[in-house]
Amino acid sequence: MKMYLSVGKLRFVTGLQYRTAAFAGILTQLFFGFVFIMVYVAFYNRSGAQLPMTLQEVVTYIWLQQMFLGLIALYFRDPDIFQLITGGNIAYELCRPCGLYGFWFAKLLATRVSGVVLRCFPLLVAVLLLPNPYGISLPPSITAFLLFLLSLLLGLLIVCAISLLIYISIFWTMSPTGSTLMVATAGEFLAGMILPIPLMPVWMQKLANSLPFRWTVDFPFRVYTGHIAAAEALEGLMIQLFWLALLTGLGLLLINRALRRVVVQGG
Amino acid sequence: MGNPIISLEGIGKTFKVAKRAAGVRQAAKALFYRKHTFVEALKDISFTIREGEIAGYIGPNGAGKSTTIKVMCGILVPDEGDCKVMGYTPWKSRTAYVGNIGVVFGQRSQLWWDVPVIDSFELLRDIYKVPDTRYRKNLSMLTETLALADLIHVPVRQLSLGQRMRCEIAASLLHDPRILFLDEPTIGLDAASKIAVRQFIKTIHKEKGITVILTTHDMNDIEALAERILMIGKGSLLYDGSLDELRRRFGSSRTLTVDYRDCLRPVDIPGAVRHSWSPQQAVYTFDSAQISLTGVISQLSEQAEILDVAVDSKSVDELILQLYKEHQI
């Protein structure tokens, strides 16, 4: 356990070095947040129909997404791990008395957390100060907020488990581009990164519900807004746990299979 | 010499390599149909290393040295054969086993690039679960013998190769391994760093009785360190023995360079071959097992007034080249 904390800490410290990147990230995320919100504002003003989410909920959803982008975005990749595999430095990783899966999981987790810690607080202050309808709203209750934190954490773990499956695929494909692109593009759409799930057509909602992705983005953010009520949220947490167990189990199985046929690239 | 600590029995490993000729057309063809060839990296490799030995593992590029090291470290799974290191089969009980070994791959880095060396050391301490007192003791010993005091607070990317290699070696010894695998530890280092690394390996071997397996292309490494040489070529073990024995086998040839006061005609010596001659200097080679050095010199001194003589035996490099030639690799 201490080892995982230690590797996480080192990764975290390394990540904190990139202050300029964090500052640039904040500006980019503010910009994208505004663009998305303006589109939704126009859409809500012109639409006569009864929509499944209020504008206020959508705006909050978008700001949460921008704040925690680093935690939940599937297309974030960790160049270190795929260089380990394609460059052959995995030789050293295999000389350590620990399982590779847990070791890499800790690395990924720390990279994501360190990336977000520097960005989310300044962004939070900024979006709290914005006037209506552009500002973020507070969660309706303490319970909703606590459930949100829990679901965000589980969502983060699920994202890491999915990313690790992508990395493990590199043992066979030798390039992260294809698998990242496919999984990230489809996965982010089905996670609700482009469009919150309730705004999707029903058939697409069914598809999204049968896959793990929506539990990483759509679910925690709608728990925050109260759009998903506490009782339903508890049920959702169970489903998150189920997916987490399934995905980590699959990852462990595949990594063991990959290591049996590992080739250290580059002599 | 101690008990056997590493034993390999008939280890074999084959790699599948995709092949295609150069050019766009061939590349397009390879989209649909790929040719594979099988490269036998290791063929029936067997040897035993005893506890406390320093063994030099040599061979030309691509001979299978690194592959053997990786099998012994539990990184690669061989296709056939058996390997026991300290009672473990490395690739079967990898996580339990690797806590007992230290590894340095000269061409790779185990240190975190962007942070000071000490951070990597502390991570390794936690990975290997080294108790704090022992970690501090080992760290101060390594800092002292490898002269790391000024280096460990510097980010790795700012170190020179020689400095980094010293840190890499220290990193592999923080957890008191019983076996140290060094895969080309002196590659790319300047003369001073090479000597420092060799000196350190000697010290650590003497003080801790650690078993060292070393691969290298630098025969000076072998000469300075290895009591025993294992030579591999094209995947097969070709020689296993001491450096002295190798010398005895191939090394009885001597080169003699003589300077003398002006002598107008060349001197022939039975049993020695004359390579060059001038009124001031001549070069001979002879087999010291056939004819003694004193014999050659005394015959020479009868004919000319000798001013100076220099005798050279074959360098280890030449011995190894001769071994390669003998095995046609």
**Chain A residues lying within 8 Å of B76, measured CB to CB:** 262-264
**Chain A residues lying within 8 Å of B112, measured CB to CB:** 10, 14
**Nearest CB neighbour to B73, from listed A5, A95, A263:** A95
Please tell me if residue B95 touches chain A, with a CB cutoff of 8 Å: yes
Please tell me if residue B110 touches chain A, with a CB cutoff of 8 Å: yes
Confidence class for position A244, pLDDT limits 50, 70, 90: very high
SS3 B87: coil
Which positions 60-79 of B are in contact with A (Cβ < 8 Å)? Answer: 62, 66, 70, 73-77
Q: What is the pLDDT of residues B186-196, one digit of tens each?
A: 888 888 889 98
Please tell me if residue B118 touches chain A, with a CB cutoff of 8 Å: no
Residue B40 tokens, joined: 């036998």
Confidence class for position A87, pLDDT limits 50, 70, 90: confident
SS3 A115: helix
The confidence score (pLDDT) of residue B238 equals: 87
CA atoms within 13 A on the CB side of A207: 11
The confidence score (pLDDT) of residue B46 equals: 93
Residue A62: is its pLDDT beyond 60? yes
ipTM of the complex as predicted = 0.80
Confidence class for position A35, pLDDT limits 50, 70, 90: very high
Residue A267: is its pLDDT beyond 70? no
**Chain A residues lying within 8 Å of B114, measured CB to CB:** 14, 17
Whole-prediction pTM value? Answer: 0.82
CA distance A235 to A214: 14
Which positions 193-252 of B are in contact with A (Cβ < 8 Å)? Answer: none
- What does B210-279 look like in DSSP terms, one character per residue? -EEEEE-S-HHHHHHH-SEEEEEETTEEEEEEEHHHHHHHHTTEEEEEEEES--SSPPP-TTEEEEEE-S
**Nearest CB neighbour to A96, from listed B76, B77, B127:** B127
Q: What is the pLDDT of residues A192-226, one digit of tens each?
A: 988 899 999 999 999 999 999 999 999 999 999 98
Contact at CB, B70 and A14, closer than 8 angstroms: no
**Nearest CB neighbour to B123, from listed A6, A95, A263:** A6
Q: Domain locations in chain A?
A: 2-261
Residue B91 tokens, joined: 């690739």
Contact B196, B164 (CB under 8 A): no
Which run of H or of E encompasses B301?
helix B293-303
Spell out which chain A residues touch chain B, with contact meaning CB-CB distance below 8 angstroms: 2-3, 5-7, 10, 13-14, 17, 88-92, 94-99, 260-264, 266-267
Q: Which of B68, B69, B98 is nearest to B178 (CA)?
A: B98
**Nearest CB neighbour to B115, from listed A5, A14, A90:** A14
CA distance B281 to B260: 6
CA distance B251 to B283: 18
Residue A266: is its pLDDT beyond 70? no
List, for chain B, all residue ranges whose pLDDT scores fall below the cut of 50: none
Residue A15: is its pLDDT beyond 80? no
Residue of B nearest to A261 (CA): B77
Average pLDDT rounded to a whole number, residues A156-171: 91
Residue B277 tokens, joined: 């001659």
SS3 B90: coil
| Helices marked H in chain A | 2-16, 19-46, 55-67, 69-72, 79-87, 90-93, 100-129, 142-173, 176-191, 202-209, 218-225, 230-260
Contact B122, A9 (CB under 8 A): no
Taking all residues of chain A, what is their mean pLDDT, rounded to a whole number?
88
The confidence score (pLDDT) of residue B60 equals: 84
Give how far B101 is from chain A: nearest CA, Å.
8
The confidence score (pLDDT) of residue A265 equals: 64
SS3 B159: coil
